[in-house]
Amino acid sequence: MNLLLLVLGFPLLGSIILGFIGHRDVAREANVVFSLGTFIASCALTVQVIAEGPLFALNHEFFIDSLNVFMVSLTAFVALTTAVFSRPYMKVEQAHGKMTPSRLRLYHSMYQLFSFTMLMALMTNNMGILWVSMEAATLTTVLLVSVYRTAASLEAAWKYFILCGVGIAQALFGTVLLYMAAEKLIVAESGALLWTSLNAVKGSLDPDIITLAFAFLFIGYGTKVGLVPLHNWLPDAHAEGPTPVSAVLSGLLLNVALYAILRCKVLTDGALHSALASQLMMGFGLLSVVVAAFFLSRQKDVKRMFAYSSIEHMGLITFAFGMGGPIANFAGLLHMTVHSLIKSAIFFTVGHATQKAGTQVMEDIHGLIKVSPAVGWGMMLGSLAILGLPPFGVFASEFLILTTAMREQPWATPFLLLALGVAFASVFARVQPMVFGETTVKALPHPPALIPVFIHLGLGLMLGLYIPPYLSAWYHQAALMLGG
Amino acid sequence: MNFLGYFSQLLEIVLALLLAPLLIGWVNQWRAWLQNKSAPSLFLPYRKLHKLFNKELVLAQHASPLYRVTPYIVFGCMALASAIIPSLSTDLPLSPASDAIALVGLFALARVFISLAAMDVGTAFGTMGARREMLIGFLAEPALLMVLFSASLLSKSTSLTTIVDTLAHRDLAIYPSLAFAGVAFTMVSLAENARIPVDNPATHLELTMIHEALTLEYSGRHLALLEWAASLKLFAYSCAGLALFFPWGIADAQSPLALLLALPALIFKLALGGALLAILESVSAKMRIFRVPEFLATAFLLAVIGMLVNILLGI
Amino acid sequence: MTAFISQFINLLAAILLMLAFSMLAQRRILSLIYLYTMQGATLVAATAIVGFVTNQPHLYFSAAITLVLKVILIPSLLHRVIDRLNVRWDVEMLINIPMTMLIGIVMVMFSFYLAQPISQMSSTIARGTLGIALACILLSFMMMITRSKAVPQVIGFLSMENGLFFAATAATYGMPMVVELGIALDVLVGILILGVFMFHIREQFDSLDIRHLEKLKED
């Protein structure tokens, strides 16, 4: 209970304090300190939940179970490493004149507020508050994406706001329908939107209403996951915002949106006794994988390319959860974890690389490895990891997803293989000349933060070789809860 | 059919013929007041009709017989339309004929003849006016039909007298579909009666006129009949609107004495409606002719939504 | 009495739908803002009446929030924005109006079709209007995608939120208070951010035409 308040309190307090002092030099460190506090609190919370089982707080408004507690610590962890990475990154941006003190203050304050909304969305038990947090997350990231105030970043942010605003409005309608279905069954004051209460009565929710509700919720949160055809905002927002923001968008926001869909799916499956939710998720997931893979091959901007790679992976995870069953759910959760670790690591290296080269156009970036071997190797390894090469964790999860697909949904296998092949060819062909070859890039005025990159890659590697027992127990428990 | 029925039918026709020019005068008076002008006499339309009837008839050289019969046909159509709309009583000898579709057909018949006649003499303005009149007509008629269907969905009949009977004797209830239909009907009436914002009845500005272009070549008693028919049309539309949306006070077969009350009620409602029309005309600007299809499409869609709402809410 | 009030709520719902349609057909930004204000006022009336009939005091609160936010605060903000940016000019459409209206009517039919079986399940007095609420949402959604200027897009966004609010009132007598407050806060912050954005966009492009925002696309 107290730990939970700490997890939420750190980022909220941080956002307020950084709102005042965010432009000073000390703010970069303060940002890290607040994120560290959040992370430590979330670790303690995890330990407590592992020891004592699911946890309610504040009149059942908050609920921590096996599904969300690890996502909380993952979120806090990626937020922390990204804060560490953004320290030198923002110093360089300031030296290049792209960040002014007032923009820096906005950036720091919004960064903490963004973490707050993510954690809130993960921990709340109330489907309504979940929606409010997701919308608040949109608002904070809109400000983060547009922080450079360039024409392109404004365009990206506007598109992001309008598209996600529309999408998330559909989710609100879905939430209203959900409430309508539950209201008759749950009498408790304002208890009808609590996920745990809904879960308890899910068998008797009206199937007609729930069908419609899930369709709206899926469209709404699916927009935020970046599922094709609602993905248009995602590459723009990733490419035009500051790189730390791209890292948290890919690493955290997409995950949390998917988490929201999962919560809805559990209820829908319980109410419908049909495979509607699964079929929707499989269909859109597969579509996203294929479309994103083909778009990958046409990108010129490095951040856009990795943004499409995020769409591809989110599609794959959605597909996995759509298939359901213990193995696919396990693989989906694992893939969620490794994708967020490795994709944010890639964005860290991409951030430094683009700063060194002074451009995001891939054709103009060559020979990173000559100037800064660590950045070059980081990017190479990260790309190999995200493409699913063994022994990284992505390989393990993709392998599980593919084998399950072959057994249960054989029609989908050729599409998946084709998409993964296309993605591999296009990303590898682009990354290779960026890393090796004659160099054009210059050294940076401030040394890059490479520790986060290698921690993330190391963890990704570890998950491919060995999953610690408590983690695997969590995966199994969570997969079970998802109906495995 | 009893004596009272025939009497009220006769009364309705006479009343329509007499009151129609007065309604025009009343609207014009209000318009003048609203525009801070000194108002013309209320009886100016009568004097105008009187003057025209006494004037010599001038016919174009190439005018065909069609040109000469048209004023009588149009006048007849409008008079019949005013007769079948239950404005005073629903207990009329003509009520079997008072069908919503027949009413729309009557208006269409008049429109076809006046357009043909306008083209008959072969002047440029006549042809242009005819074309515009047909444009408005083909957009306004479906909308009008939809409005009448919305109303007839409530009473399960397209007979105007049945509709009015049902609406007048219901318990106090609110029909959202009628709100849509009412707005749509107002828009259609404005277009059909050549009022602002579709046409300006007070001008002969050649590029914008519609109604005036049609009657440009007419003179003498022909023109008088056409003007009278135009005022009858406005009267008929007003009565139809009142009957559909404010049917209170219209007498029926069960209460013969209500006829005594129906007359002042009708005059009061018409006076109010005329004033509202003048206000509506004064606050809106005439739109370009190319916007008229948009205007009427809106009316049509509103009427359709009215029907849909009716079906959705199930009343 | 209850039947009469339920009919009155239906009428208010119909007015909301009519306003949504007029917004779709409206060219002038100023009139759009007036229509939005009227929509907000209708919503306040509907919420308060539902609250009165069903004796649910928390609906009075949401009506009050709506009144302050959507009838007073946001319209005056919008007025200030268009004054400062001087954008009273006619709205340009990407599709012509009759076409928009035709698509709109199809959307209305679609949402009525979707909502009809659902609304039977609800136990509220205003259940019949769920279809209208859904239609309002879809119409505002369409308004957003057919407009090329920033301000009408924002008004479309706001009116969509109105539709959602009405849906909540119609289907379930409003969401729990916490959620409703959260939504109101999100909307307010969102509109503030968008307002600031409009100034930035104009600074960058010398125009509020969203068609300038087409640099970022796949080639």
pLDDT tens digits along B101-121: 899 999 999 999 999 999 988
> What value does the mean pLDDT take over residues B175-203?
86
Contact: C171, A126; criterion CB under 8 Å: no
Number of A/C CB contacts below 8 angstroms equals 129
Q: Which two tokens stand for residue C65?
A: 């929030």
CB contact under 8 A, A176 and C201: no
- Chain A residue closest to C206 (CA)? A151
| Contacts of B3 by beta carbon, 8 Å cutoff, 6+ apart | none
Query: What pLDDT is recorded for position A190?
Result: 58
| C194 contacts in chain A (CB < 8 Å) | 161
CA-based nearest residue in chain A for residue C163: A173
Can you point out the beta strands (E) in chain B? none
Query: Could you tell me the CA-to-CA distances from C113 to C20, C118, C130, C133, C167 in Å, in that order?
Result: 19, 10, 11, 13, 16
Q: Is B283 on the interface with C (CB under 8 A)?
A: no
Category of B15 on φ-ψ map: left (φ > 0), alpha (ψ -120 to 50) or beta: alpha
In angstroms, the separation between the Cα of residue C167 and the nearest Cα of chain B is 15
Question: Which range scores top for mean pLDDT: B129-143, B195-209, C203-217?
Answer: B129-143
Regions of chain C with pLDDT less than 50: none
Nearest to A237 by CA among A296, A301, A287: A301
User: Residue A105 has what pLDDT?
Assistant: 93
Contacts for A77 with CB less than 8 Å, ≥ 6 apart: A39, A42
CB of B96 within 8 Å of any CB in chain C? Answer: no
- Confidence (pLDDT) at C200: 84
Probe site for chain C from B172, B187, B302, B305 (most C CB atoms < 10 A): B305
- Which residue is it, tokens 């970043």? A153
Task: Kindly state the average pLDDT of the residues B166-184.
Answer: 80
Burial of residue A463 (CB within 10 Å: 0-12, 13-18, 19+) is: buried
Q: How far is CA A409 from CA A283, A324, A400, B118, in A?
A: 11, 11, 13, 72
What does the pLDDT look like over C103-124, one tens digit per residue?
888 999 899 888 888 777 777 7
Q: Is the Cβ pair A298, C218 closer than 8 Å?
A: yes
Which chains touch A (3+ CB pairs under 8 A)? C
- Given a cut of 70, whether residue B95 has pLDDT beyond it is yes
pLDDT band at B172 (very low <50, low <70, confident <90, very high): low
Q: Rounded mean pLDDT of chain B?
A: 87
Interface membership of C18 toward B (CB under 8 Å): yes
Task: Please count the other Cβ atoms lying within 10 Å of the Cβ belonging to residue C3.
Answer: 13
Closest CA to A195 of A254, A270, A137: A270
Tokens of A1: 């209970």
CB proximity C54 to A under 8 Å: no
Structure tokens at B122: 């072969």
Chain C hits for B135, CB-CB cut-off 8 Å, are: none
In this predicted structure, the answer to whether residue B26 has a pLDDT above a threshold of 90 is yes
**Touch test A–C: 3 Cβ pairs or more under 8 Å:** yes
- DSSP labels, B29-90: HHHHHHTT-PPPPTTHHHHHHHHHHHSPP---TT--HHHHHHHHHHHHHHHHHHHHS-SSBS
CA C6 to chain centre: 22
Our CA angle for C151, A128, C116, nearest 5°, is 80
List the single residue in C97, C104, C112 with the smallest CB-CB distance to B294: C97
CA dist C210 and C156 (Å) reads: 14
* C172 contacts in chain A (CB < 8 Å): 176, 179-180, 183
Q: pLDDT class for B248, splitting at 50, 70, 90? A: confident
One digit per residue, the tens of pLDDT, for chain A of length 484 reads: 678 888 999 999 999 999 998 888 889 999 999 999 999 999 999 888 888 888 888 888 898 887 888 899 999 999 999 999 999 999 998 888 888 999 999 999 999 999 999 999 999 999 999 999 999 999 999 999 999 888 888 889 988 988 888 888 899 999 988 988 888 787 665 578 888 888 888 888 888 889 999 999 999 999 999 998 888 899 999 999 999 999 999 989 999 999 999 999 999 998 887 888 999 999 999 999 999 999 988 888 999 999 999 999 999 999 999 998 889 999 999 999 999 999 999 999 999 888 888 888 888 888 888 888 888 899 999 999 999 888 899 999 999 999 999 999 999 999 999 999 999 999 999 999 888 888 777 777 778 888 899 999 999 999 988 888 888 888 888 888 887 5
Q: Is the peptide bond before A391 cis (omega within 30 degrees of 0)?
A: yes
Asked if C204 reaches chain A (Cβ–Cβ under 8 Å), the answer is: yes
Residue A170 CA to residue A176 CA, distance in Å, equals 10
Angstroms from A131 CA to nearest CA on chain C: 8
- Cβ contact, residue pair B298, C104, below 8 Å: no
Q: Cβ A132–C185 below 8 Å, yes or no?
A: yes
Contact B176 C13 (CB under 8 A): yes
Distance from CA of C194 to the nearest CA of B (A): 31
* B174:C128 CB<8 A: no
Of all residues in chain B, what percent carry a pLDDT higher than 70?
95
> How far apart, in whole angstroms, are the C-alpha atoms of residue C129 and residue C46?
11
Residues in C touching B181 (Cβ below 8 Å): none
Go through chain B and tell me how many residues it has.
Answer: 315
Residues in B closer than 8 angstroms to C131, CB to CB, are 312
Per-residue pLDDT averaged across B266-270, rounded? 91
- Rg of chain C in Å (alpha carbons): 18
Backbone angles phi, psi at B157, to 5 degrees: -160, 145
Cβ-Cβ contacts under 8 Å, B305 against chain C: 17-18, 21, 105, 108
Quick one: pLDDT at residue C91?
Answer: 61
Write the ipTM: 0.90
Weakest-pLDDT range from B196-210, B289-303, C48-62: B196-210
Question: Residue C183: closest CA among chain A residues belongs to which residue?
Answer: A132
**B290 chain-C contacts, CB cut-off 8 A:** none
At residue B210, φ and ψ (nearest 5 deg) are -120, -60
Report pLDDT for B249.
76
Compare CB distances from A193 to C118, C176, C210 and report the shortest one's residue. Answer: C176
C residues 115-174 lying closer than 8 A (beta carbon) to A: 117-118, 121-123, 134, 137, 141, 144, 150, 153, 157, 160-161, 164, 167-168, 171-172
